Amino acid sequence: MPSKYVSPYTDFGFKKLFGEEASKELLLDFLNSILPLDSPIAVLSFRNAENLPDTTTERRAVFDIYCESEVGEKFIVEMQKAEQFYFKDRSLFYATFPIREQAEKGEWDFELKAVYFVRILYFNYDEEEERRKFERDVNLKDQDGDVFFDKLHFKFLQMPLFTKTESELETKSDKWVLFPKTS
At residue 98 the predicted structure's pLDDT band, cuts being 50, 70 and 90, is very high
- The SS3 of residue 1 is coil
Q: What percentage of the chain exceeds 70 in pLDDT? A: 89
DSSP states of 82-106 as a string? Answer: S--TTHHHHHHHHHHHHHHTTPPSS
pLDDT, tens only, 80-96? 888 888 888 999 999 99
Question: What value does the mean pLDDT take over residues 135-152?
Answer: 94
Say how far apart CA 162 and CA 171 lie, in whole Å. Answer: 14
Say how far apart CA 183 and CA 178 lie, in whole Å. Answer: 9
